[in-house]
A and B are shown apart, each in its own frame.
Chain A
Amino acid sequence: MSSSASYWRRVWRHFKRNTLAVIGLWIALALMGVALLADVLANDTPYYMIYQGTRYFPLLQSGLSSLGMVTLPPELQRVDFTQLPAERVISPPIPYRPNRIDLQSPFAEPSAVHWLGTDKLGRDVMAGIIHGARISLSIGFVAVGIAVGIGLTLGSLAGYFGGWVDLVISRLFELMLAIPTFFLLITIAATLRPNIFYTMIVIGFTSWVGMARFTRNEFLKVRNLDYVTAAVALGTPTRRIVMRHILPNALAPVLVSVVLGIAAAILTESGLSFLGIGVPADLVTWGSLLNEARSNSFAWWLAVFPGAAIFLAVVAYYLVGEGLRDALDPRLQ
């Protein structure tokens, strides 16, 4: 265990030396923070408010009441906080919900009121981008989680057992590589109802081949080493040999493809929602905001900012992935 800890410490030391990768890591962490705190950063419910002489913490109170922990005071139930004549209000930095339609100000240019402008329904772009981070990242993480599950399982099976198991699973790899993934995605998305859970599952089910191949190759390399033979001779159960003795060796190269896979999944998701496929029409995502610029080419802010968010997320994960690959490569140390 101690040798494994020092291995990761060494990897981390090499990773830290790569300035670009560290910048990427910071951006990725910041985006995760934005995704987690989206409701606190961009919301039309104020943090603090004095209304008719009473103090309220509406955001906290409505958050807790949605968890069923407190009941919202009746005067705050089903009210539009922006219309409430409160004496003193402290609002979130972006005082809009992403799906708050304001038909009075469609296509507002970026200004102090709407930092990044509004879209055709008067929805705030900044709020949309902040909440879009949550959608994109959760799709990225869940899809890659599914892909890792399938990839590790099939790769281990093919690599450990070899023979006809390997032959069959390798044909499966070939099959997946022969199918144009994006076509498969839009075909499936067209047959199913638009839903982000389906999108996660479909992206996961179409992106495991790389990880499975890495795992398989690593297993082929390791399975005939003396220590594995020793474990077999000692009568260690196959499951334990695979899980404890071989799989950890395969994790390092798989980790790189996990990080790069998140970038790819974010890219695929935004591409799909850019085409208006796979996510419900009323859900504001990075891709759906960018899509609006296509038919309204004067609204440059709809083209620039959501796309920049996609680019930033993708670059961050690419940088981390590349940095990790260099840090894990023994030839470069």
Chain B
Amino acid sequence: MFTYIWQRLLLLLPTFIGVTLVAFFIIHLAPGDPAELRAGGGLAAAGAEGISSEGVSAVDQALIAWRAQYGLDQPLPVQYWRWLHNLFTLEFGNSFKDSQPVWRKIAERLPITIQLNAVSLVLIYTVAMPLGIYSATRPYSFGDQVTTFLAFLLFALPSFWIGTLALVFLCGGDFLDLFPPGGMTSVGYASTWSFWRRLGDRAWHLCLPVLIMSYGGFAGLSRFMRSSMLENIRQDYVQTARAKGLSEHWVIYKHVLRNSLIPIVTIMASILPGLISGSVIIETIFSIPGVGLLAYEAVLARDYPIIMAVFTISSLFTLVSILLSDILLTLVDPRITFSGRSI
């Protein structure tokens, strides 16, 4: 088992290096280097006519100092190596906007995003699996067709549309006032509130965002669960189990379900990146101060250190989730060994 995990980790290494290279490439895609970007408006003003030559040289000196600070005067491979080193020591530099360390800004907001994603993931699995089982045990029945249609509809509804509609019609605009229009806490929230009151307030605020973040997921996953179950129901071993007189309940829940869970576990690796991306949109719509909103604001303000840090962390997060789902896969399916696995 541990050898397997080590081998997987080794195989992830080239992928990880690839991700960091992509990230590094994007930094250099930006017009000008980070020092010029940081100088930003100041440089433009200095280049304008009527500015004294001392003003220009002051900006130039600042640029040289910044280049030295960021290591931009070094050749590219050295820069990459330095950047990689900084990455491993969690040294992402300071935000251009307020000169706060990027790492601290992200650490402040990460728990909120993780909370949002974890609740969504749990919700997706608890709704989708029973729905999938329901559909698969009654294929082509009326109930199956209704859930198929609903799943299709939910899958096609863009979450940013539903989010905006919810904001306009449910969150205290000119229409209904059922949910708060965003944020994490009510006005007048105090840490002296009882635990249950705080929990209730949090739940009331996260209800819509979590629902909107997950509905696409449970539509997709329930379809996936259904086809996975149906594929197994057609297998010979199911016929054998029925032939030897096992009850249908036992056949479905003991034999079919266990085997159908295998692809469901692996698909987690592809749901997670979607959720991470989704949190940018959902956090922006509902003004939830998580990493997604931080990234969005950083993009608008061209705050490169934050953008790069969020990009790298979310890629790492995705890599880890792929690794986790691989490990989970060996736990649920003893037939899978490392040597027998292709790609």
CB <8 Å contact, B311 and A297:
no
CB <8 Å contact, B276 and A180:
yes
Instruction: Convert B166-199 into 0s and 1s, putting 1 for each residue whose CB lies closer than 8 angstroms to a CB of A.
Output: 0111010111000001000000000000000000
Instruction: Convert A174-185 into 0s and 1s, putting 1 for each residue whose CB lies closer than 8 angstroms to a CB of B.
Output: 110111111110
CB <8 Å contact, A171 and B15:
yes
Chain B interfacial positions (CB closer than 8 Å to A) = 14-15, 18-19, 22, 26, 29-31, 152-153, 155-158, 160-161, 164-165, 167-169, 171, 173-175, 181, 270, 273, 276-278, 280-281, 284-285, 295-296, 298-300, 302, 304, 307-308, 310-311, 314-315, 318-319, 322, 343
Task: From known contacts A192-B29, A293-B164, infer whether A183 and B157 are also in contact, taking CB-CB under 8 Å.
Answer: no
Contacts of B175 in A (CB 8 A): 300
Measured CA separation A276–B301 after assembly (Å): 12
Which residue on chain B has the smallest CB distance to residue A304? B165
Measured CA separation A173–B18 after assembly (Å): 11
Taking the nearest CB of chain B, how far is it from the CB of A234, in angstroms? 31
Measured CA separation A190–B277 after assembly (Å): 15
CB <8 Å contact, B299 and A186:
yes
Taking the nearest CB of chain B, how far is it from the CB of A224, in angstroms? 16
User: Which of A288-316 touch B at CB < 8 Å?
Assistant: 290, 293-294, 297-300, 303-304, 307-308, 310-311, 314-315
Task: From known contacts A183-B277, A303-B165, A311-B157, infer whether A175 and B15 are also in contact, taking CB-CB under 8 Å.
Answer: yes
Q: Sorted from nearest, which 6 A-B pairs have the closest CB atoms?
A: A182-B277, A307-B161, A297-B173, A191-B30, A175-B18, A190-B299
User: Which of A134-151 touch B at CB < 8 Å?
Assistant: none
CB <8 Å contact, A178 and B161:
no
Choose from A190, A300, A308, A318 the contact partner of B302 (Cβ within 8 Å): A190
Measured CA separation A234–B164 after assembly (Å): 62
Which residue on chain B has the smallest CB distance to residue A213? B343
Contacts of A276 in B (CB 8 A): 300
Contacts of B19 in A (CB 8 A): 175, 178-179
Task: From known contacts A300-B169, A311-B161, infer whether A187 and B299 are also in contact, taking CB-CB under 8 Å.
Answer: yes
CB <8 Å contact, A274 and B173:
no
Which residue on chain B has the smallest CB distance to residue A314? B156
Measured CA separation A129–B167 after assembly (Å): 21
Choose from B160, B168, B318, B319 the contact partner of A300 (Cβ within 8 Å): B168
Task: From known contacts A171-B18, A191-B29, A277-B299, infer whether A182 and B280 are also in contact, taking CB-CB under 8 Å.
Answer: yes
Which residue on chain A has the smallest CB distance to residue B156? A315
CB <8 Å contact, A188 and B26:
yes
Taking the nearest CB of chain B, how far is it from the CB of A194, in angstroms? 11
Is the CB of A267 closer than 8 A to any CB of chain B?
A: yes
Measured CA separation A64–B39 after assembly (Å): 48
Contacts of B270 in A (CB 8 A): 177
Taking the nearest CB of chain A, how far is it from the CB of B267, in angstroms? 12
Which residue on chain A has the smallest CB distance to residue B173? A297
Q: Can you pick out 6 interface pairs between chain A and chain B where the beta carbons lie within 8 Å of each other? A: A177-B273, A179-B22, A179-B318, A184-B311, A190-B307, A271-B160
